């Protein structure tokens, strides 16, 4: 039997209790990063910023991995922004998906990077590294975000300049979008790199603690009176950014107990 590029096997049954959706587009950014979109099941509801478990129908018991839904809750399709891990049980196959292939998805979305988990405030900070930008790609396209916050600042830090492209193109598209474009004038993107030459260099925590981030943006330092935070990155980035926000007096919240900042892992180390 011949398998297609993402190693799909038409003879294997779709596991019970999952959605089976078709890939509608794929775009590769670097040899480590790509995005793809799939059809959205009509009954699937989620809050912008949540994640869901996805897999490929390539085994009797497919490997499922958590993925932030990068599209907003109003979108007719679902978008994902993905790493390609060499030899990774899911992504060594997922990186080969093509239009028309099937992606399987568990039915229950969840997550803490949702507007409901934050108390109202003036300025929302979204701190991301690498694929940690994915939940914010959803939230910056959701009009609710701009109803709740006057100003939204998305920070995205990567090693290299090409890894910033997904976020840069997205922010430009959001500002031109007929639905959210007008309110998204309140959105600002702050990029920094940790390896390549770039106007803003360094880890976001260092830029926060030194105050350079606030100088570069022309905003006052973070204060619990006005500012709210969301963080998505590696465990080390979460730990350091969380401690920087706590240093400014912010307190971690959750769905059950909204407060002034929330965190989610971008992946398990
Ligand atoms: C809540 C949550 C949301 C997630 N959302 C996304 C998402 O939107 N996009 C995405 O690409 N991944 C996301 N992940 C990671 C994802 O679940 C998988 O780990 C990833 O797709 C790789 O799967 P794999 O089976 O190929 O390799 P795995 O066996 O899962 O991972 C192998 C190793 O690769 C590294 N790694 C895994 N994922 C990443 C990553 N995203 N960035 C850098 N290094 C990584 C880690 O060191 C990991 O130990 C999320 C994880 C969690 C917990």
Query: Which CATH number characterizes residue 143's domain?
Result: 3.40.50.80
Is residue 9, in this structure, part of any structural domain at all? no
For atom 11 of ligand 1, which residue has the closest CA?
Answer: 82
Question: Model confidence over 87-119: pLDDT tens digits?
Answer: 999 999 999 999 999 999 999 999 999 999 999
Domain end call among 62, 86, 106? 106
Work out the percent of the chain whose per-residue pLDDT is above 70: 97
Query: Would residue 89 count as lying in a domain?
Result: yes
Q: For residue 150, how far is its CA from the centre of ligand 1 (angstroms)?
A: 32
Half-sphere exposure of 44 (CA within 13 A, CB side): 29
Q: Mean per-residue pLDDT for 148-167?
A: 98
Judgement on whether residues 130 and 54 belong to the same structural domain of the protein: no
Residue 269: inside a domain: no
81 C-beta closer than 6 A to ligand 1: yes
Q: Whose CA is nearest to atom 53 of ligand 1?
A: 267
Say whether pLDDT at 124 is over 90.
yes
Nearest CA to ligand 1 atom 48: 269
- Measured from the CB, is residue 179 less than 6 Å from ligand 1? no
Q: Residue 1's pLDDT is what? A: 38
Is ligand 1 within 6 A of the CB of residue 36?
Answer: no
Same domain, 234 and 142: yes
Residues 120 and 63 in one domain: no
Shortest-distance Cα residue to atom 31 of ligand 1 = 88
- Contact call for residues 34 and 26 (beta carbons, < 8 A): yes
**Residue 174 is assigned to a structural domain of this protein:** yes
- Domain of residue 141 covers 115-263
Burial 97-112 (b: 16+ CB within 10 A, else e): beeebbbbbbeebebb
- Band the pLDDT of 2: cuts 50, 70, 90: very low
Q: Kindly indicate the confidence band of residue 263, based on its pLDDT and cuts at 50, 70 and 90.
A: very high
Greatest CA separation for the chain: 62
* Domain identity same for 48 and 95: yes
| CA nearest to 190, candidates 218, 226, 210 | 218
* Residue 269: predicted pLDDT: 86
Q: Are residues 184 and 90 in the same domain?
A: no
Residue nearest to atom 32 of ligand 1 (CA): 88
Name the domain count of the chain. Answer: 2
Spacing, Cα 200 to ligand 1 middle (Å): 26
Instruction: Say whether both 162 and 193 belong to one domain.
Output: yes
pLDDT of residue 212: 96
Dump pLDDT digits (tens) for 48-73: 999 999 999 988 889 999 999 999 99
Tell me what pLDDT residue 3 has. Answer: 46
Inside any domain, residue 60: yes
End position of a domain, from candidates 106, 126, 158: 106
* C-beta 131 within 6 A of ligand 1: yes
Per-residue pLDDT band at 7 (split at 50, 70, 90):
low
What is the average per-residue pLDDT within 15-28? 94
Is the confidence at residue 262, as pLDDT, over 90? yes
Tell me if 265 CB under 6 Å of ligand 1. Answer: yes
239 and 145 fall within a common domain: yes
Same domain, 83 and 163: no
Does the beta carbon of 112 sit less than 6 angstroms from any atom of ligand 1?
no
Q: From the CB of 83, is ligand 1 less than 6 Å away? A: yes
5 pLDDT band (50/70/90 cuts)?
low
Residue 258 located in a structural domain: yes
End residue of a domain, out of 106, 140, 155: 106
pLDDT at 209 over 80: yes
């Amino acid at each position: 039997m011949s398998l297609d590029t993402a190693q799909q096997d038409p003879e294997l049954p779709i596991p019970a209790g999952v959605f089976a959706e078709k890939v509608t587009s794929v775009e590769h950014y670097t040899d480590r990063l790509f995005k793809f979109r799939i059809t959205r099941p009509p009954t699937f509801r989620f809050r912008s910023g949540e994640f869901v478990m996805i897999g490929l129908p390539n085994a009797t018991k497919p490997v499922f991995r958590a993925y932030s839904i990068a599209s907003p809750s109003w979108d007719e399709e679902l978008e994902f922004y993905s790493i390609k891990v060499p030899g990774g049980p899911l992504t060594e196959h997922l990186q080969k998906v093509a239009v028309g292939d099937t992606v399987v998805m568990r039915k229950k979305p969840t997550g803490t990077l949702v507007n409901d988990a934050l108390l109202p405030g003036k300025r929302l900070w979204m701190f991301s590294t690498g694929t940690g930008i994915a939940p914010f790609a959803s939230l910056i396209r959701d009009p609710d975000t701009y109803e709740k916050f006057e100003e939204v600042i998305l920070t995205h830090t990567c090693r290299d300049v090409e890894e910033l492209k997904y976020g840069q193109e997205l922010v430009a598209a959001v500002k031109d979008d007929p639905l959210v474009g007008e309110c998204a004038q309140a959105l600002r993107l702050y990029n920094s790199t940790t390896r390549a030459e770039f106007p803003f260099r360094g880890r976001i925590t260092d830029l926060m603690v030194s105050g350079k981030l606030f100088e570069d943006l022309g905003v006052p330092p973070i204060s619990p009176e006005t500012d709210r935070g969301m963080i998505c990155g590696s465990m080390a980035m979460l730990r350091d950014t969380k401690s920087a926000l706590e240093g400014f007096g912010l307190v971690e919240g959750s769905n059950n107990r909204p407060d002034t900042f929330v965190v989610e892992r971008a992946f398990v180390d």
